[in-house]
Amino acid sequence: MLPPLLSTLLRHRRHSLRRFVLHLHYQPCKLFSTTSSSPLHFPLSHPTYMIWGSNTSLGKTLVSTGLASSFLFSPPPQSSSGSRRRKFVYLKPVQTGFPSDSDSHFVFAKLSSIASRCNLPFSLVASNSVLKSSVSAAKSVLSVGGHFETNEFQFGMYDLNSRETNTVLRDGEAVSELVSKTLYAWREAVSPQLAAQRENGVAQDSAVVEMLQQCLINELEVEGENEKMNIFCVVETAGGVASPGPSGTLQCDLYRPFRFPGVLVGDGRLGGISGTISAYESLKLRGYDIVAVVFEDHGFVNEVPLLSYLRNRVPVILLPPIPQDMSNDLVEWFCDSEEIFDSLKQIMISAFSERMQRLNDMPKKARDVFWWPFTQHRLVPEETVTVIDSRCGENFAVYKAQNNEFMTEQFDACASWWTQGPDATLQIELARDMGYAAGRFGHVMFPENVYEPALKCAELLLEGVGKGWASRTYFSDNGSTAIEIALKMAFRKFSLDNGILLGYAKNDTTERCIELKVLALKGSYHGDTLGAMEAQAPSSYTGFLQQPWYSGRGLFVDPPTVFMCNRIWNLCFPEGMLSENVIYKDKAFSSRDDIFHKSREESDLYRIYSSYISQQLSQYSGTKGTIRIGALIIEPVIQGSGGMLMIDPLFQRVLVNECRSRNIPIIFDEVFTGFWRLGAESAAELLGCVPDIACFAKLMTGGIIPLAATLATEEVFDSFIGDSKLKALLHGHSYSAHAMGCMAAAKSIKWFKDPLTNHNVIAEQGLLRELWNVELVQQISLHPSVQRVVALGTLFALELRAEGSNAGYASLYARSLIQKLREDGVYMRPLGNVVYLLCGPCASPEICSQLLIKLHRKLDEFSQIKELQTSS
């Protein structure tokens, strides 16, 4: 939609230079370069807040200092039960203009000054350290002071480790401690990114995040104490909320994995309302909670519109005017503001307690009010409920109350029921797009209307997964509805082609003499609504206990499968497929690619499959019988819910060919397989043949919001054209083609297939590169606990070797393995004895390898335990 010009930067060139349209060398930037090897893990035992500014120089450090003063200098706790020690931790991850500017030094020095004015009834121990700095900043420090030592040169930053201290000793046990720290410092008073570049001192996002995590652990996880120490921690950002950090990542993105609640220091000046509100919105857009907005009173009553905007739900705090006289040491100002800061501190402590209370209560409340799908509630004791505080890309932030309260990251390896695709960068893009779509459209109804996101999404679907065959997009809400729509389409087409509708043209509801069934594979699964269930073979989901109305309206054929076992890809025939006189021995493949190879169509096996299918279909052919096969429905390549079974693609090709030759419409259920799940945009591409109708959902929106689409050929569409509305497809849902869903889908479809945004895409092949390390996969296939393995696209799955009651969908056999993996930062959910890993289409192979290594390690532990159990 945007002209080519738009991807350019226009820069003024004075006088002589007439060419001012410059192409910036665009580096597609991943917001999060963090690929830290170990999952984030940090304490949540004490109030910890971000201090944000809506702009630079609005007084963030004054607020931090005021809070420190309020926390450390209020009367010490008197009760014998409470600790007599208090600690305020001030962390400044990024400082520029150092050493002449040093906010951590300011807090340290100011606290010391304030302390000297009050006659403290307790001891004060204060320190300020600077951990790492650029070389030029370090040189500058060394030339000024004397007692600093510089350590080795590391990733462009010096281990400066400077430290200054100040101690005021008083009688008694009560001690107030200030720990003030700068994590990274640069010399130039410009933005951190610019300073880092100019001073050759780059700090990766992962380094900043890890160092911050380490400081939090060091200062907040006070071990060996009998009593819980009284600690308060603030992390002060640099500049405005969306100012770039040292790597260029915006700070609101950089610190997002912690998602600490925040205080926003706003702008009380003329025109300051706008910037304050916008900064607030940028923070909300990234999932942050803001507990208070604070700003200096300039007399412009900015608080009135702000409170109105915030609907009184977030308190607004005004600070007295700050003396502009540079000689003023502000100590009097701090003393004047004491009660203001006490109130702010109190708000922050209350909000913290409430958050912790809620987090602690959540498992119980969840068990009280939820009715989880696919869950036997009796098997979920309170302590196994996972409290998810947030998601950042592919990681959950999980709250744990055990021992000390903490937050820990878990990789969402089940892709939240196979929906997830976004990394942290795409998640933020989608969040902004979701706000945009809601702000622009909310939801608008679809039939007979057109609006941009729906049109764009439909176009992208037809150009992408529907390319070469589909011409129409039918939107619905989920895979199950998409399937029901597909079945209605297929049956109409079939009936029309076969003259069945003649007798029903008047849409009568008299007795029906024709019964339509689907041809489907055993082990397939197409959704939970009745229509979708009817198209699948009987299973645990379909019994009277679950669905009294299920009858199973299909011819269900047992398919041949392929999998890796002991490093080799094998073919496995179902019982009864090979008649007694056929001997077929060629069941091993030299590589996975061979399984998909076109040359197999020339093989004997093709003919074996073909005659097998023909034989099955023969019972329903002809025009005499009352039962007719009105559609073929398959999950191409992989049957998901059936246990991540890989069906021999040759068999599915034969199925398609046999049905097409009989004029039976072909439905591909790509709800699970679509959008790069298996390494190509659609599984149809892997199969190398096209359907008449296909269903998509899950990953289509990047996994952020429900939306489904049923694509169809123009011939299928035409079978609903007529003069009466009664001939139209009368199936729809309220939110058909809702704007937010279509917007998310349009963004994700483009994002996943563009090599600029998805580094895994090999453009010329239209495939993802191999994400699962082949050697590791083979290693796992050799493991004694492992029955079979499948690795394809973003999917890695294995079936545990188990017998008797340990087999099947309801098996709890894998439970201990899953539990171990969750503790190791991998959130998995099994399908009976099948455990699987799913990553997003943009995930790096490094992350996938880490997952495989963890899985392999836990398999060892698992099999040791099982052995012990067996032998005992």
- Which residues ranging from 662 to 681 are in contact with a second copy (CB under 8 A)? none
440 neighbors 739 (Cβ within 8 angstroms):
yes
What is the closest distance, in whole angstroms, from the C-beta atom of residue 216 to a second copy in the complex?
20
| Stretch of 80-88, 546-554, 653-661, 864-872 contacting a second copy, by CB under 8 A | 546-554
Contacts for 601-609 with beta carbons within 8 Å, 24 or more apart?
601/650, 601/653, 603/650, 605/650, 606/650, 606/654, 608/577, 608/578, 608/582, 608/584, 609/560, 609/650, 609/651, 609/654
530 binds a second copy (CB under 8 A): yes
Residue 148 or 451: the one with the smaller Cβ distance to a second copy is 451
Residue 261 or 688: the one with the smaller Cβ distance to a second copy is 261
Residue 217 or 445: the one with the smaller Cβ distance to a second copy is 445
Assess whether the previous peptide bond of 99 is cis (omega < 30° from 0). yes
CA atoms of 160 and 142, how far apart (whole Å): 10
| Stretch of 73-81, 152-160, 717-725, 788-796 contacting a second copy, by CB under 8 A | 717-725
What token pair was written down for 733?
Answer: 């849902």
Residue 166 or 390: the one with the smaller Cβ distance to a second copy is 390
The sign of the CA dihedral 849, 851, 855, 861 is: positive
Interacting residue with a second copy among 55, 150, 614, 844 (CB under 8 A): 55
What is the closest distance, in whole angstroms, from the C-beta atom of residue 512 to a second copy in the complex?
6
Interacting residue with a second copy among 174, 196, 250, 265 (CB under 8 A): 250
What is the closest distance, in whole angstroms, from the C-beta atom of residue 202 to a second copy in the complex?
15
731 binds a second copy (CB under 8 A): yes
What is the closest distance, in whole angstroms, from the C-beta atom of residue 717 to a second copy in the complex?
6
Interacting residue with a second copy among 400, 587, 597, 727 (CB under 8 A): 727
| Stretch of 121-129, 170-178, 508-516, 852-860 contacting a second copy, by CB under 8 A | 508-516
261 binds a second copy (CB under 8 A): no
865 binds a second copy (CB under 8 A): no
CA atoms of 469 and 467, how far apart (whole Å): 6
Which of 331, 387, 533, 416 lies closest to 840 in space, CA to CA? 416
What token pair was written down for 555?
Answer: 């011819």
Interacting residue with a second copy among 119, 226, 509, 623 (CB under 8 A): 509
Question: Binding mask 552-581 vs a second copy (x if CB under 8 A, - otherwise)?
Answer: xx----------------------------
706 binds a second copy (CB under 8 A): yes
Residue 542 or 561: the one with the smaller Cβ distance to a second copy is 542
> Measuring CA to CA, how many Å separate 802 from each of 417, 639, 830?
24, 20, 14
- Which residues ranging from 25 to 54 are in contact with a second copy (CB under 8 A)? 26-29, 54
Per the DSSP assignment, residues forming a β-bridge with 89 are: 179, 233
What is the closest distance, in whole angstroms, from the C-beta atom of residue 107 to a second copy in the complex?
20
- Which residues ranging from 364 to 383 are in contact with a second copy (CB under 8 A)? 365-366, 368-380
Contacts of 167 (CB under 8 A, 6+ apart): 123, 124, 125, 126
345 binds a second copy (CB under 8 A): no
| Stretch of 60-68, 491-499, 595-603, 846-854 contacting a second copy, by CB under 8 A | 491-499
Amino acid in the structure at residue 661: S
501 binds a second copy (CB under 8 A): yes
Residue 106 or 596: the one with the smaller Cβ distance to a second copy is 106
Residue 172 or 320: the one with the smaller Cβ distance to a second copy is 320
Q: How far apart are the first and last CA of the chain?
A: 69
CA atoms of 306 and 308, how far apart (whole Å): 5
CA atoms of 841 and 702, how far apart (whole Å): 10
Question: Which residue shows structure tokens 């009858």?
Answer: 551
CA atoms of 102 and 49, how far apart (whole Å): 20
Q: Which of the 8 DSSP states describes residue 560?
A: P
Strands 123-133, 157-168: pairing kind: antiparallel
- Which residues ranging from 187 to 246 are in contact with a second copy (CB under 8 A)? 189-191, 193-194, 239-244
Helix axes 845-871, 815-823, angle to 10 degrees: 130
| Stretch of 3-11, 570-578, 594-602, 759-767 contacting a second copy, by CB under 8 A | 3-11
Residue 481 or 785: the one with the smaller Cβ distance to a second copy is 481
CA atoms of 160 and 138, how far apart (whole Å): 7
279 binds a second copy (CB under 8 A): yes
Which of 722, 715, 721 lies closest to 692 in space, CA to CA? 715
Which of 48, 130, 42 lies closest to 87 in space, CA to CA? 48
621 binds a second copy (CB under 8 A): no
- Which residues ranging from 427 to 486 are in contact with a second copy (CB under 8 A)? 427-428, 430-432, 434-452, 454-455, 458-459, 462, 471-481, 484
Residue 522 or 856: the one with the smaller Cβ distance to a second copy is 522
601 neighbors 653 (Cβ within 8 angstroms):
yes
307 neighbors 278 (Cβ within 8 angstroms):
no
Residue 257 or 560: the one with the smaller Cβ distance to a second copy is 257
Interacting residue with a second copy among 228, 358, 607, 759 (CB under 8 A): 358
143 neighbors 107 (Cβ within 8 angstroms):
no
| Stretch of 528-536, 583-591, 604-612, 676-684 contacting a second copy, by CB under 8 A | 528-536
Interacting residue with a second copy among 712, 745, 826, 834 (CB under 8 A): 712
What is the closest distance, in whole angstroms, from the C-beta atom of residue 125 to a second copy in the complex?
30
Residue 123 or 794: the one with the smaller Cβ distance to a second copy is 794
CA atoms of 682 and 697, how far apart (whole Å): 12
CA atoms of 359 and 393, how far apart (whole Å): 21
What length is written for the chain?
872
The upper half-sphere exposure of residue 100, i.e. CA atoms within 13 Å in the direction of its Cβ, equals: 6
What token pair was written down for 583?
Answer: 């001997």
Beta strands, E only, 62-122:
85-95
- Which residues ranging from 306 to 335 are in contact with a second copy (CB under 8 A)? 307-309, 311-320
| Stretch of 221-229, 540-548, 603-611, 855-863 contacting a second copy, by CB under 8 A | 540-548
| Stretch of 87-95, 533-541, 615-623, 646-654 contacting a second copy, by CB under 8 A | 533-541
16 binds a second copy (CB under 8 A): no
Per the DSSP assignment, residues forming a β-bridge with 168 are: 124
What is the closest distance, in whole angstroms, from the C-beta atom of residue 20 to a second copy in the complex?
6
CA atoms of 148 and 143, how far apart (whole Å): 10
What is the closest distance, in whole angstroms, from the C-beta atom of residue 807 to a second copy in the complex?
14
Interacting residue with a second copy among 130, 179, 645, 697 (CB under 8 A): 697
The upper half-sphere exposure of residue 450, i.e. CA atoms within 13 Å in the direction of its Cβ, equals: 6
57 binds a second copy (CB under 8 A): yes
534 binds a second copy (CB under 8 A): yes
- Which residues ranging from 800 to 829 are in contact with a second copy (CB under 8 A)? 809-810, 829
347 binds a second copy (CB under 8 A): yes
623 binds a second copy (CB under 8 A): no
422 binds a second copy (CB under 8 A): yes
Count other Cβ atoms within 10 Å, centred on residue 670: 31
Residue 148 or 550: the one with the smaller Cβ distance to a second copy is 550
What is the closest distance, in whole angstroms, from the C-beta atom of residue 721 to a second copy in the complex?
5
761 binds a second copy (CB under 8 A): no
78 binds a second copy (CB under 8 A): no
265 neighbors 63 (Cβ within 8 angstroms):
yes
Q: Which residues of 375-406 are buried (b: 16+ CB within 10 A; e: fewer)?
A: eeeeebeeeebebeebbbbbbbbbbbbeeeeb
